[in-house]
Amino acid sequence: MPAIDELFDLLLREGGSDLHLGVGSPPMVRAKGELRPLRPVPIDQPEMERLLYEITTPEQKKHIIEELDLDFAYSYGHHARFRANYFWKQTGLAAVFRTIPTKILTLDQLGCPEAIRKLSERRNGLVLVTGPTGSGKSTTLAAMVNHINRTRACHVLTIEDPVEFVHEPDKAQITHREVGSHAASFAGAIRSAGREDPNVILIGELRTNETMKLALSLASFGILVFATLHTNSAPATIDRIINAFPADEQPQIRGMLSEALVGVVAQQLLKTKDGKGRCAVHEILLGGSALSSMIREGKTYQIPSIMQGGAAVGMQTMDAALERQVMKGKVAPEAALEKAGDKDHFQKLVERFQSGELEVEP
């Protein structure tokens, strides 16, 4: 058994999401959003090399030495899978492992709003799931693909670096492609995806304007395309895509995006009020004629008004979603305040709870 598996056992026992390894520091686990050591003894360089190189191939070891970083997925039996990132820092070799549960949670188990389920049931268009690193984007996307897998006879193609959640075919045919192992690049894999007869494509991350343009093209061909971006809100997501292109290309991209975009889910992960876990809070923007016009005309600053007025069809701003979780008693007002856009409004909400004027809904 590889020596690092003992650390994975401790990580899973603690219910941790990440394992941090660095020379000169003890192994650290992130559990419930906070880092803490797994032992008092720091890792030295020989132990670090033994822990990390024991689970890599000769090609992967060569890559980390020559290219100075490495991303791959590691399966720990039936216990879990981990997304591994090896890199060098001032003290030497280091790594972070992100836990990928072997059991894929459903949308209901994650507490996702009904609007996210309906986005999963679309037959075409672009759906973007966004948020900062560690906000649970991959988990939400896996639940959406799982819903499709259980309810629709179709072909689902995933393009990732590395492959994270592994779906066993149910009603759907699932094809996992890993950049580096099965394709030379994201762009190359996306470019060939249209010839692989997919109904649904999941793209791990839109990293370049080339991959963004290819994803928009596929979404316009009658394919449902899921992708992620590291943005914190729906308006910022749209601006991020448009601003990735030179000024002379932006009108064309606005046109493509206005036609292809069917939804944006911007996600934040907050510690629950009881301190026992974390819950996802979602900002939801759904496509329509009003949104299409705003994108084409460059009026993304008006998008929050669409979300505020679209509650009946499942849209919501991040602040509205945060306030709902506070009123349900799932999230502390102070935690919501940290993530809120309108700090003044949430500060007043915190004060009303502290004074007893507001109470959690029964």
Kindly report the pTM of this predicted structure.
0.88
Domain-terminating residue out of 77, 101, 125: 101
Domain-terminating residue out of 101, 133, 164: 101
Average pLDDT over residues 57-65: 94
Q: How many domains does the chain have?
A: 2
| pLDDT range class, residue 63, cuts 50, 70, 90 | very high
Find, among 202, 196, 98, the residue nearest to 149 by Cα. 202
Find, among 14, 13, 8, the residue nearest to 35 by Cα. 14
Residue 241 lies in a domain: yes
Same domain membership, residue 114 and residue 69: no
Average pLDDT over residues 310-333: 93
287-296 tens-digit pLDDT: 999 999 999 9
Same domain membership, residue 70 and residue 150: no
Residue 20 lies in a domain: yes
- Taking 70 as the threshold, does the pLDDT of residue 14 lie above it? yes
The set of residues, in sequence order, having a beta carbon less than 8 Å from that of 47 and lying 6+ positions away, is: none
64-119 tens-digit pLDDT: 999 999 999 998 887 888 999 999 999 999 999 999 888 899 999 999 999 999 99
Quote the pLDDT of residue 205: 86
Quote the pLDDT of residue 192: 93
Average pLDDT over residues 258-285: 93
Residue 174 lies in a domain: yes
The set of residues, in sequence order, having a beta carbon less than 8 Å from that of 347 and lying 6+ positions away, is: 337
Same domain membership, residue 255 and residue 112: yes
Q: Is there a contact between 244 and 256 (Cβ–Cβ < 8 Å)?
A: no
Q: Give the lowest-confidence range in 179-188, 285-294, 328-337, 349-358.
A: 349-358
Which CATH number goes with the domain that contains 25? 3.30.450.90
145-199 tens-digit pLDDT: 999 999 999 999 999 988 889 999 999 999 999 988 888 899 999 999 989 999 9
Same domain membership, residue 287 and residue 174: yes
Percentage of the chain beyond pLDDT 70 is 100
Let me know if 66 is exposed, middle or buried by CB neighbors in 10 A (0-12, 13-18, 19+): exposed
Residue 350 lies in a domain: no
Same domain membership, residue 246 and residue 164: yes
Same domain membership, residue 44 and residue 19: yes
Q: Is there a contact between 360 and 327 (Cβ–Cβ < 8 Å)?
A: yes
Angle formed at CA 143 by CA 32 and CA 72, multiple of 5 degrees:
70
Same domain membership, residue 176 and residue 40: no
Same domain membership, residue 81 and residue 224: no
Same domain membership, residue 217 and residue 116: yes
Let me know if 41 is exposed, middle or buried by CB neighbors in 10 A (0-12, 13-18, 19+): exposed
Same domain membership, residue 78 and residue 204: no
> Please, which residues bridge with residue 98 across strands?
18, 83
Residue 353 lies in a domain: no
Same domain membership, residue 313 and residue 282: yes
Domain-terminating residue out of 84, 101, 118: 101
Average pLDDT over residues 114-134: 96
Same domain membership, residue 190 and residue 82: no
Residue 132 lies in a domain: yes
The single-letter code of the amino acid at 19 is: L
- Taking 70 as the threshold, does the pLDDT of residue 362 lie above it? no
217-263 tens-digit pLDDT: 999 999 999 999 999 999 999 999 999 999 999 999 999 999 999 99
Average pLDDT over residues 314-331: 93
- Taking 70 as the threshold, does the pLDDT of residue 29 lie above it? yes
Residue 330 lies in a domain: no
The set of residues, in sequence order, having a beta carbon less than 8 Å from that of 67 and lying 6+ positions away, is: none
Percentage of the chain beyond pLDDT 90 is 77
179-194 tens-digit pLDDT: 888 888 999 999 999 8
Cis peptide before 162 (omega within 30 of 0): yes
Measure the CA–CA gap between 174 and 158, rounded to whole angstroms.
Answer: 8
Residue 125 lies in a domain: yes
Measure the CA–CA gap between 87 and 236, rounded to whole angstroms.
Answer: 30
Which CATH number goes with the domain that contains 262? 3.40.50.300
| Structural domain harbouring 137 | 107-318
Take residue 270 and report the two structure tokens written for it: 């907050």
> 6-14 contacts: CB < 8 A, separation 24 or more?
7/38, 7/51, 8/76, 8/79, 8/80, 8/82, 8/97, 9/79, 10/38, 11/38, 11/97, 11/99, 12/79, 12/80, 12/99, 14/38
